[in-house]
A and B are shown apart, each in its own frame.
Chain A
Amino acid sequence: MKAKALLTSVLLATSVLSMPSLASAAEINLYTTREPALIAPLLEAYAKSTGTKVNTVFMKDGLAERVASEGASSPADILMVVDAGNLVDLAEKGVTQQIESSVLNEAIPAQLRDGKGHWFGLSMRGRVLYAAKDIDLASFNYEDLADPKWKGKVCIRAGQHPYNTALIADYIAHYGADETEKWLAGMKENLARKAAGGDRDVAKDILGGICDIGIGNTYYVGLMTSGKGGEEQVKWAEAIKVVLPTFKQGGTQVNVSGAAVAKNSPNKAEAVKFLEYLVSDEAQKIYAEANYEYPVRAGAAVDPIIASFGELKIDTKPLSEIVSHRKQASELVDKVGFDN
């Protein structure tokens, strides 16, 4: 009796938090692992131009599990994640649906979207080298990370982080597992500190004298240099220069952020419209500005800070192949004890 009353009151009270379960036509629901601050400008612009409200919930781990668990009742229309691997996971878990949209297909290069239309890349970032300003270094190969001349001078975040497993998977795609293991072990020998923290810490640690070079994503440099992160970060960024590294037989490793339409999307038409908006010139520009990423749409403007790194030569290995080596990459990280 008591418990029932309690339960009722809890349910009643929680309904305060709940959004209308039957969304009106002008609303779509977005599940995202992209941080709210990154996509907020896009959503605002979209609401302004179309009047459609985008409800969001930001998650990190477990987005796919949540959509899968909610099944047919899921309110999710769009799933937005970072990393090609996560996009492939969504498709493999069967929580996405096939979309035929000429707008999307024309705007996005074929290698940056799913062949069957289950997911679409929306922006790109490169996994690049941050080097101390005073180091004379015009070009760099990923292979050099294992070169003993950098012993005690390399900073990188945890090897198990998806950014790094993708890079390692790319290495496997080029050289196979055995070579990659040697490379990882060599890089491990070169680490100046534990493989931990974030990409910005690499710049900060270079400024702090902990290391000379390190690996980080392109957009962090934009964020730091622009001063959006405060004055301190400008100093971190000033301590480094960016070199776009390449594989000896390839280009710079890139990854994408992207989106998919949920399999049980209640507002599919609206969802597709939103996706199409995301590859429009306007949205691609906002994307590039807000987060200093490379747009996927050919010819869309790149932020000057990012453009200053030089021309991006995307690696030849297709994302789908890289993704297939991810698990192996993760196991190699454990095997060589990269993060220990």
Chain B
Amino acid sequence: MPSSSQVIGRLVAGRTGRSGRGWLLVSLCAGLVVILPIAGLMLEAMKGSAGLWGHLFSTILPVALVDTVILLLGVGLVTATIGTSTAWLVTAYNFPGRRLLEWSLLLPLAVPTYIIAYAYLDILHPIGVVQGSIRWILGYETLRQFRLPDVRSMAGCILLLGFVLYPYVYIPTRAMFLTQSGNLVDAARTLGVSRRAVFWRVALPLARPAVAIGIALALMETLNDVGAAEFLGVRTLTVSIYTTWITRTDLPGASQIALALLMVVLALVGLERFARRQQRYATDARRTRGLAQQEAGPVKGLFFLFAGALPVLIGFIVPAIYLSTEAWKRYQFAGLSPRILDEAVSTILIAALATAATVGFGLVVAYTNRVRPGRLSAMSLRISTMGYAAPGTVVAIGVLIVLAGLDRFIDRTASDWFGVSTGLLFMGSGAALVYALTMRFLAISAGGIEAGLSRIPLSLDHASRTLGQSTQGTFRHVHLPLSKTAIAAAALLVFVDCVKELPATLLLRPLNVETFATHLYGEAARGTYEEASIAALAIVAISILPVILLSRVGRNEPDRSAKTFRQGEIPVHEAL
């Protein structure tokens, strides 16, 4: 039997001795970062909201629930279809333009949902380009003779969201296809399965976890969306939260709905994890042969190129061209706002800071889970995903409650003790905003980095330790060099998300700070969309570079690590 002091020693030291204690501490801090605002919301929710649920159940909830479910099902279906089929196309076949397609399929990531909604609303309007051309071709004179169905509908919303959110499925699925063993596919083919059927019977089932995670992310983005749904007149639960809060000035009630929604999302995420708990994808330090690409003939190749390019066309090229022409028209008409430079600086600076914090914490959370596996570190990792599951405005309010409270406390303490007013340390400096963005996107960085780390065999850690490196040294000399592409990918994705983020930025930024997203919103809010076109174009433009980088990350990796295990191909969201 162990002596009692030994048992206590174990409890304190944990399974791997003292090493990693610092990591665990910071990891728990990261967990706290996420949990605090949610706790703040709970406090708010407990203030109570008389009669809210009765009203909701008897009126809006049945409709909003059904609409939300239809929207989620629809977006899930569209993103899954586009994401998996394009991923298979670019990994299983070779055809002219494939390499171009491989990365340009990511481009719709650069287009926020609210921008695509507004762009298509205009493009497809009866007096817009498309319907105008159709009328001209068909020889109709007036608008009343011919009209396409209104894009302001559930179907329109599903399609538009689907065409910008499918990259969330495409990225991890493609990575999964790339790392799938060619042997498995060959085995299937010797068993009499045609190449096309391999997709359904081998590749897709094997990629299921990646597809599921991709869909989960796309759906969380959908739940988060307010702009597009509002534009297109789809009443989701998220919109109900807004109405409850804004129109009925019932913040506790809004918090209650938000928390209920969060629970549902977390339950779904948990269910998904549970469903694939048995599936382990072994990491061998030695790599197997990848899937061989099949050459497509000229006709088939052209067809593949066209089919693969369609989502890029709809999700990126058309809105980008539209925005460019609108922005150009606006520029001709009103010139460039002098604020645009300031806005660019703020946008990039805030996104960069938030990315640094998010990736830093994500790294710690993911790494702690590796060097100090246990209940606490696993808990931190799970908690880190919660911020992503909660609607952005709700996150913002939670952060506001916590940080403004802290600000007040610090200010009061400083005044009482030193007679100096500190002002609002967090709110006034933008730290509150960085905090909110970190909390919101921690899931992306922690998940992506964890997936990257999980590709590194544990024996490398042990080799490093027995060769005299501490946990920190091992991190610096082994893990960091081997997971830098995963980290870079996570950073780029977070950066793009920060640039696009609206509700938290709107509520929490300091005085005199305007970003492209808030400028865009400021114009859109009073209906002057045309003035927003330059800002909208800027958001898309800023996001393009990271998106292209994202697609290139790992591609130029030196051959040495590429063969041992392909770092660049890690599914960014695998660990969620």
Residues of chain A whose beta carbon lies under 8 Å from any beta carbon of chain B: 1-3, 6, 9-11, 13-19, 21-22, 29, 35-38, 55-62, 65-66, 69-75, 85, 89, 158, 160-162, 165, 193-201, 204-205, 207-210, 220, 223, 229-230, 232-233, 235, 326-327, 330-331, 334-335, 337, 339-340
Which residue in chain A gives the minimum CB-CB distance to B475?
A2
* Least CB distance, B494 to chain A, in whole angstroms: 14
B407 touches A70 (CB 8 A): yes
A220 touches B153 (CB 8 A): no
Q: Which residues of A contact B277 (CB under 8 A)?
A: none
* A14, B404: Cα distance in complex, Å: 16
**Contact string against A for B residues 137-148, beta-carbon threshold 8 Å, 1 for contact and 0 otherwise:** 000001110010
Q: Which residues of B contact A197 (CB under 8 A)?
A: 121, 152, 231, 233
**Contact string against A for B residues 239-262, beta-carbon threshold 8 Å, 1 for contact and 0 otherwise:** 100110111110100000000000
**Contact string against A for B residues 376-408, beta-carbon threshold 8 Å, 1 for contact and 0 otherwise:** 000000000000000001001100110011011
B521 touches A230 (CB 8 A): no
B523 within 8 A of A: yes
A60 touches B506 (CB 8 A): yes
Q: Which residues of A contact B512 (CB under 8 A)?
A: 19, 55-57
B59 touches A17 (CB 8 A): no
B519 within 8 A of A: yes
Given A11-B429, A62-B506, A230-B530; 10 other pairs, CB 8 A cutoff: A10-B356, A14-B434, A35-B526, A37-B528, A199-B527, A208-B125, A209-B144, A210-B147, A330-B243, A334-B56
Given contacts A36-B514, A58-B518, contact A194 B233 (CB under 8 A): yes
* A161, B147: Cα distance in complex, Å: 27
**Contact string against A for B residues 274-293, beta-carbon threshold 8 Å, 1 for contact and 0 otherwise:** 00000000000000000000
Cβ-defined partner of A75 (8 Å) among B245, B361, B424 = B424
Given contacts A17-B510, A69-B400, A196-B231, contact A330 B142 (CB under 8 A): no
Cβ-defined partner of B125 (8 Å) among A9, A38, A204, A229 = A204
Q: Which residues of B contact A162 (CB under 8 A)?
A: 246-247
Given contacts A18-B429, A207-B127, contact A6 B360 (CB under 8 A): yes
* Least CB distance, B441 to chain A, in whole angstroms: 15
* A235, B127: Cα distance in complex, Å: 10
Can you show 24 pairs from A to B with CB atoms below 8 A apart? A3-B361, A3-B364, A13-B353, A14-B353, A18-B429, A19-B511, A21-B428, A36-B522, A59-B506, A61-B393, A61-B506, A65-B397, A66-B507, A69-B405, A70-B424, A85-B249, A197-B121, A197-B152, A205-B125, A208-B147, A235-B127, A327-B248, A334-B59, A340-B67
Cβ-defined partner of A72 (8 Å) among B22, B231, B412, B431 = B412
Which residue in chain B gives the minimum CB-CB distance to A291?
B526
Q: Which residues of A contact B397 (CB under 8 A)?
A: 62, 65
B531 within 8 A of A: yes
* A279, B276: Cα distance in complex, Å: 65
Cβ-defined partner of A158 (8 Å) among B55, B59, B230 = B230
Which residue in chain B gives the minimum CB-CB distance to A19?
B511
Q: Which residues of B contact A18 (CB under 8 A)?
A: 428-430, 510
Q: Which residues of A contact B519 (CB under 8 A)?
A: 36
B346 touches A17 (CB 8 A): yes
Q: Which residues of A contact B55 (CB under 8 A)?
A: 331, 334
* A204, B124: Cα distance in complex, Å: 12
Q: Which residues of A contact B360 (CB under 8 A)?
A: 2-3, 6
Cβ-defined partner of B152 (8 Å) among A19, A66, A196, A235 = A196
B70 within 8 A of A: no
Which residue in chain A gives the minimum CB-CB distance to B472?
A2
Residues of chain B whose beta carbon lies under 8 Å from any beta carbon of chain A: 22, 26, 29, 55-56, 58-60, 63, 67, 121, 125-127, 142-144, 147, 150, 152-153, 230-233, 235, 239, 242-243, 245-249, 251, 329-330, 333, 346, 349-350, 353, 356-357, 360-361, 364, 393, 396-397, 400-401, 404-405, 407-408, 411-412, 421-424, 427-431, 434, 503, 506-514, 518-519, 521-523, 525-528, 530-531
Q: Which residues of A contact B248 (CB under 8 A)?
A: 326-327, 330-331
Q: Which residues of B contact A208 (CB under 8 A)?
A: 125-127, 143, 147
Q: Which residues of B contact A161 (CB under 8 A)?
A: 247
Given contacts A3-B29, A195-B233, A207-B127, contact A29 B511 (CB under 8 A): yes
* A112, B353: Cα distance in complex, Å: 45
B528 touches A223 (CB 8 A): yes
Which residue in chain B gives the minimum CB-CB distance to A235?
B127
* Least CB distance, B396 to chain A, in whole angstroms: 7
* A134, B56: Cα distance in complex, Å: 42
A61 touches B424 (CB 8 A): no
* Least CB distance, B438 to chain A, in whole angstroms: 9
A17 touches B26 (CB 8 A): no
Given contacts A17-B430, A331-B55, contact A58 B528 (CB under 8 A): no
* Least CB distance, B390 to chain A, in whole angstroms: 15
B412 touches A11 (CB 8 A): no
B507 touches A62 (CB 8 A): yes
Q: Which residues of B contact A37 (CB under 8 A)?
A: 522-523, 526, 528, 531
* A75, B513: Cα distance in complex, Å: 15
Q: Which residues of B contact A74 (CB under 8 A)?
A: 424
Which residue in chain A gives the minimum CB-CB distance to B411?
A73
B428 touches A59 (CB 8 A): no
Q: Which residues of B contact A195 (CB under 8 A)?
A: 233
* Least CB distance, B61 to chain A, in whole angstroms: 9
Q: Which residues of A contact B26 (CB under 8 A)?
A: 2-3
B329 touches A209 (CB 8 A): no
Which residue in chain B gives the minimum CB-CB distance to A328?
B248
* A337, B550: Cα distance in complex, Å: 44
* A204, B428: Cα distance in complex, Å: 41
B511 touches A230 (CB 8 A): no
Cβ-defined partner of B424 (8 Å) among A13, A21, A335 = A21
Q: Which residues of B contact A337 (CB under 8 A)?
A: 59, 63
B249 touches A11 (CB 8 A): no
* Least CB distance, B476 to chain A, in whole angstroms: 11
* A16, B430: Cα distance in complex, Å: 9
Q: Which residues of A contact B144 (CB under 8 A)?
A: 209
A209 touches B230 (CB 8 A): no
B511 touches A229 (CB 8 A): no
Given contacts A13-B353, A196-B232, A208-B127, contact A58 B522 (CB under 8 A): yes
* A60, B405: Cα distance in complex, Å: 21
* Least CB distance, A311 to chain B, in whole angstroms: 26
* Least CB distance, B140 to chain A, in whole angstroms: 11
* Least CB distance, A96 to chain B, in whole angstroms: 15
* A194, B235: Cα distance in complex, Å: 10
Cβ-defined partner of B523 (8 Å) among A13, A35, A60 = A35
Q: Which residues of A contact B527 (CB under 8 A)?
A: 198-201, 220, 223
* Highest count of chain A CB atoms <10 Å: which of B251, B357, B422, B528: B528
* Highest count of chain B CB atoms <10 Å: which of A56, A65, A223, A233: A65
Q: Which residues of A contact B423 (CB under 8 A)?
A: 21-22, 73, 75
* A98, B368: Cα distance in complex, Å: 54
* A326, B503: Cα distance in complex, Å: 24
Q: Which 7 pairs across A and B sit closest by C-beta, in order of nearness?
A: A196-B233, A21-B423, A208-B126, A69-B404, A194-B233, A209-B143, A334-B59
* Least CB distance, A55 to chain B, in whole angstroms: 4
Which residue in chain A gives the minimum CB-CB distance to B354?
A10
Cβ-defined partner of A60 (8 Å) among B125, B364, B525 = B525
Q: Which residues of B contact A233 (CB under 8 A)?
A: 530
* Least CB distance, B128 to chain A, in whole angstroms: 8
Cβ-defined partner of B246 (8 Å) among A6, A61, A72 = A61
* Least CB distance, B49 to chain A, in whole angstroms: 11
B528 touches A229 (CB 8 A): yes
* A22, B427: Cα distance in complex, Å: 14
A62 touches B523 (CB 8 A): no
B422 touches A21 (CB 8 A): yes
* Least CB distance, A267 to chain B, in whole angstroms: 13
Q: Which residues of A contact B396 (CB under 8 A)?
A: 62
* A331, B407: Cα distance in complex, Å: 36
A209 touches B233 (CB 8 A): no
* A207, B510: Cα distance in complex, Å: 41
